[in-house]
């Protein structure tokens, strides 16, 4: 039999590490979907909660980290960390092989594509992979969840119970069950 043999599995001595960066303010079920699926594809997933001075977050870095940690406690190969600065430098520091980014809609693609190309220019060893969330989460964003919660809407279908409680605590009775 002639031909090429192709495998997705690297030699066992290579640990495949992916970084999933974002602000996660708050983490949604769409984020968790990407994390869970990435955990099946990589040996190690690091959810990197990014400090972004251009945004006014609802939750502190520590709160966002804790909310994600509570949501991924059952995933043994997922770590949650906080970082600032250039993503490619963080990936290298963590011995990462790739960055994973979620794409909800075509409108996300242009920005993410430009970011991936810039990251490649900064460090050509860092690959960017795009993952679409399940269709049931394709409309979901942290911004929309915060808006719904602030107006008293039910966000329980969009976030974990601990995130819902954190939103309820932040907005008072507005974020109901």
Query: What confidence score (pLDDT) does residue 103 get?
Result: 86
pLDDT, residue 131, reads 92
The CA dihedral of 42, 18, 82, 144, to the nearest 10 degrees, is -90
Please indicate whether residue 104 is annotated as part of the active site: yes
Catalytic member of 101, 142, 146, 164 = 142
> Residue ranges of the chain with pLDDT lower than 70?
1-13, 173-177
Q: What is the pLDDT of residue 112?
A: 85
The pTM assigned to this predicted structure is 0.86
From 51, 55, 93, 134, the catalytic residue? 55
**How much is the pLDDT for 87?**
94
Residue 173: the pLDDT is 61
Determine if residue 95 is left, alpha or beta; phi over 0 gives left, psi from -120 to 50 gives alpha, anything else beta. left
Q: Is 44 a catalytic residue?
A: no
pLDDT per position as a tens digit, 100-120: 998 887 777 888 888 898 989
- Asked if residues 24 and 145 have their Cβ atoms less than 8 Å apart, the reply is no
Compute CA distances 127 → 99, 118, 121, 148, 164, whole Å.
6, 11, 11, 35, 34
Catalytic position from the list 16, 23, 37, 104: 104
Q: What are the tens digits of pLDDT across the range 146-172? A: 999 999 999 999 999 999 999 999 998
- Whether 143 is catalytic: no
Q: What pLDDT is attached to residue 1?
A: 47
């Amino acid at each position: 039999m002639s031909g090429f043999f192709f495998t997705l599995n690297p030699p066992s001595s290579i640990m495949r590490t992916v970084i999933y960066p974002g602000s996660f303010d708050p983490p949604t079920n769409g984020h968790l979907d990407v994390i869970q699926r990435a955990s099946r594809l990589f040996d190690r997933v690091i959810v990197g909660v990014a400090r972004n001075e251009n945004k006014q977050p609802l939750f502190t870095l520590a709160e966002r980290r804790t909310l994600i940690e509570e949501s991924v406690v059952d995933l043994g190969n997922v770590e949650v960390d906080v970082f600032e600065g250039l993503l490619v430098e963080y990936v290298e520091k963590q011995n990462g092989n790739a960055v994973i980014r979620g794409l909800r809609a075509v409108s996300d693609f242009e920005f993410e594509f430009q970011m991936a190309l810039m990251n490649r220019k900064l460090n050509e060893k860092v690959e960017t992979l795009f993952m679409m969330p399940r269709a049931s989460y394709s409309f979901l964003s942290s911004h929309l969840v915060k808006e719904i919660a602030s107006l008293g809407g039910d966000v329980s279908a969009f976030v974990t119970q601990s995130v819902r409680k954190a939103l309820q605590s932040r907005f008072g009775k507005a974020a109901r069950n």
